[in-house]
Structure 1
Amino acid sequence: MEHFVQFEDVSKYYQTGSVRIAAADHLNFYVDKGEFCIIVGPSGAGKTTLLNILGGMDTCDEGHVWLDGQDVSHFSEKELTTYRRYDVGFVFQFYNLVQNLTALENVELASEICRDPLDPAATLESVGLGERLNNFPAQLSGGEQQRVSIARALAKNPKLLLCDEPTGALDYKTGKQVLALLQRTCRETGRTVIVITHNTALTAMADRIIQVKSGQILSNKVNEHPVPVEQIEW
């Protein structure tokens, strides 16, 4: 069976003076379509490097990266730009919203560069912001701004949603609400969602758990009984 996401012997090296550091060291793992996957590991484990390679923001030095049957690792710069634009939605720790645009305009911005975008207003409504379309980022709470950034990523109608510590700038309660939204999005749309975190407690909500340490994959496990994030305490 062909996996939706697959890393085959992927390595990424950085040179510091005469020392060569492997940020990704012969990574092998896969994620299947429609899974809610959590990649967990301590700071500096190589999680963000892995995400950047999968998202086409960085390239690997060795190996192959596959998404939906495409070998992303051998794309040209132009092909990578197209890939980032159409196939991948990004959600970061910081919301990166355009401050002088409303919530709706921020989401419209993303939908305008895509082949088959979702309706921006309907997407904001789906993340619980139907009443806030005309608010500017400064008029929104941190949790609401992160919802706008999720709506912006979803409006592109991407094949894959990549989330790098999406609750890192949020308080406990708001963080849980955002994670519940991401889990619900995965369940309701069948979209593949990958979340990076250092919080091991969150792995209980995942369909698949990938553990990373020192640039290597420690384990890639299926969780037969994922639980709603509301039931998780940390």
Structure 2
Amino acid sequence: MDNSYIRFENVVKQYNMGEVPIKAVDGADFTIDKGKFTIIVGPSGAGKTTVLNMLGGMDVCTSGTIVVDDVLVSDFNRKQLTMYRRYDIGFVFQFYNLIQNLTAKENVELAAQICKDPMDALDALDIVGLSHRVNNFPAQLSGGEQQRVAIARAIAKNPKILLCDEPTGALDYVTGKQILKILQDMARKKGITVVVITHNSAICPMADRVIHIRNGKADRIDENPNPTDIEDIEW
């Protein structure tokens, strides 16, 4: 019996460009364990973001099955997908998507208002090291600080899964490593299932599992029994 927390089984996502079918994901098979840090890596156009969008309930698969916590997410209707995104998924993107006329605390509180069992906004900001910035507006924060607010907003929902799409893409090297450290700690210390999409294969040693996506398939899956601390990785 497979005890994996997330399962993709022969998942296909097909788009039709006029009369030409394009398979962004073409029979992807992989599993992700609960409370682990997983990296999905691959070149641009390989299908990584499409995989993330289907896992996060922002897109639906054309065929195949997606199972999360023993629930068949790929069978959800639109309303069920909305509830799934609201209650179960925390999202962190390359761009922070903060509301400019709200403070850091208010941005986090906004997300907490839509879920069942939210974390206190100040506690979430403390976890990401921003206790001293709670009353600042996004324009008063650096890029790294804004991304920390975005992470606090995501974890304040107490999500089952934290999905991160190129979360350090807009940040400098040092700040990017600080953000990755926070995400690694989310899995190690908080037991959140963290999935990071990246094209930067240098950070793969920090993950418990690395899923290499190529041409819409899980081309290779690597296990790291002893993941490297992000502080010890150079690129």
Establish whether TM, by shorter chain, passes 0.5: yes
Alignment of 1:190-229 (within 5 A): 190-229=191-230
3-state secondary structure, aligned to 1:153: helix
Give the structure 2 partner of residue 92 of structure 1: 93
Give the 4+ runs in structure 1 shifted more than 4 A. none
Give 1:33-112 correspondences, 5 Å limit. 33-112=34-113
Cα displacement string for residues 116-150 of structure 1 (whole angstroms, at most 9, x for unaligned residues): 01111111011000000000000000000000000
Q: How does 1:110-121 map to 2 (within 5 A)?
A: 110-121=111-122
Counterpart position of 2:185 = 184
Q: How many residues align?
A: 234
Match for residue 172 of structure 1?
173
Answer yes or no: is 1:138 the counterpart of 2:139: yes
What is the alpha-carbon distance in structure 2 between the residues aligned to residue 201 and residue 120 of structure 1? 33
Q: What secondary structure, in the 3-state scheme, does the structure 2 residue paired with 1:131 have?
A: helix
Gaps of 5+ in 2: none
- Give 3-state SS (helix, strand or coil) of 1:90's partner: strand
Q: 1:30-75: CA deviations, max 9, x gaps?
A: 0010110000000000000000000000000001101111110010
CA distance in 1, matches of 2:79, 2:186: 30
TM-score (norm 2): 0.98
The offset of 1:222, in angstroms, is 1.2
Q: Letter of the 1:176 partner, please give it.
A: K
RMSD (Å), alpha carbons: 0.6
**SS at the partner of 2:153?**
helix
CA distance in 2, matches of 1:53, 1:105: 29
Structure 1: which amino acid aligns with 2:32? V
1:129 corresponds in structure 2 to: 130
- Give the residue type in structure 2 aligned to 1:149: A
Which residue does 2:19 correspond to in 1?
18
Q: Which runs of 5+ in 1 are unaligned?
A: none
Given the alignment of the two structures, is residue 152 of structure 1 paired with residue 142 of structure 2, yes or no? no
Distance 1:139 1:79 in 2: 37
Q: What is the rounded CA distance, in whole Å, between the counterparts of 1:45 and 1:122 in structure 2?
A: 37
Amino acid at match of 1:172: Y
Amino acid at match of 1:111: A
Shift of 1:109: 0.1
Displacement of 1:17 after TM fit? 2.1
Alpha-carbon distance in structure 2 between the residues aligned to 1:144 and 1:123: 13
SS at match of 1:128: coil
Give distance in 2, aligned partners of 1:79 and 1:25. 25
